[in-house]
Amino acid sequence: MLEGYAGFVLPLLEPGTRVLDVGSFSGGRVASTLSLGTAAHPIRVLGLAAHAADVTEARRQAERASVSTVEFVVSRPESLPLCSGVADVVFSHGLLETAVAPMAVLAEFFRVLRPGGTLALSTVDWSKARLRPRTANVDAALRGWNLLQRRLGVDPFAGRRVADWVQRAGFRDVRSRARHHADIGYLALAREVEAGLAAAIHRPDGGPDQQLASAARSAWMWVRDGSGDFSQCWVETLATR
């Protein structure tokens, strides 16, 4: 469940805590952000996302859920419209793996946190994803999928590196643990991988990308192999400003 993505942060929150949630509610997935806003009373949560559509949808869902402790604004993560030292906690789920310059994002997180404040990150590591059954077709499709993500600027293995990034950004007392969450279903993942690879097999010059085409064929077989189980690995990292 999406609430679980923020579960490791909730015990840190106390009445009066000032929380920033940066980029965790993209694609309309607002449950984890709303869970921050109901973890203590009183509490104020500011949610920031790069796209106006995500902010509009988050505001709609917050209103429907009657959560008035969370505000949403549009902002790039590497340029937050906030004064230095204003946050007690900065939380972000699923952001650093998509960031073009993750160190610039972490520098902003360091700036807006007060001294002694807490950084809480949840970062994907596809190398530890659990899929059963994990056939040769699944592995071949995922290799192509990870290659495609890297070409799109996404780091599918960012969870491996996040603790090092955080330490290099100046944070102290860095600790990480891997936790698996049930994500989209096994077949839903297979269909997403198949569709993404099929759409990407043609190079800009019009010729086929043989590596992606081969992976797309494996994904096609994966979809037709039947059902299974999938849980994604998220590396949960806590650190102190």
Question: β-pairing, 18-22 with 44-49?
Answer: parallel
Return the amino acid letter for 105.
V
CB contact at 8 A, 147 and 202: no
Q: Write down the pLDDT at residue 119.
A: 98
CB contact at 8 A, 213 and 97: no
Closest among 89, 68, 74, 65 to 26, alpha carbons compared? 74
Q: Write down the pLDDT at residue 8.
A: 94
CB contact at 8 A, 143 and 222: no
Q: Write down the pLDDT at residue 3.
A: 59
User: Could you tell me the residue ranges of all domains in the chain?
Assistant: 1-124
CB neighbours of residue 46 within 10 Å: 21
CB neighbours of residue 109 within 10 Å: 28
Beta-bridge partners for 92: 121
Alpha-carbon gap, residue 222 to 32, rounded angstroms: 31
**66-101 pLDDT per residue, tens:** 999 999 999 999 999 999 999 999 999 999 999 989
* Residue 171, CA atoms < 13 Å, CB-side half-sphere: 31
Closest among 211, 225, 198, 233 to 138, alpha carbons compared? 225
The CATH H-level (homologous superfamily) assignment of domain 1-124 is Vaccinia Virus protein VP39 (3.40.50.150)
Q: Write down the pLDDT at residue 180.
A: 95
Helices and strands (H and E) in the chain: how many: 7, 8
Q: Write down the pLDDT at residue 1.
A: 44
Which residues, 6 or more positions from 208, have their beta carbon under 8 angstroms from its beta carbon?
201, 202
DSSP character string of 47-86: EEES-HHHHHHHHHHHHHTT--SEEEEE-BTTB-SS-TT-
- Which regions of the chain are under pLDDT 70? 1-4, 28, 205-207
**What's the whole-model pTM score?**
0.92
Q: What are the φ and ψ backbone dihedral angles of 115, each rounded to 5 degrees?
A: -55, 130
Using the structure block, give the residue that is written with the tokens 């790069």: 50
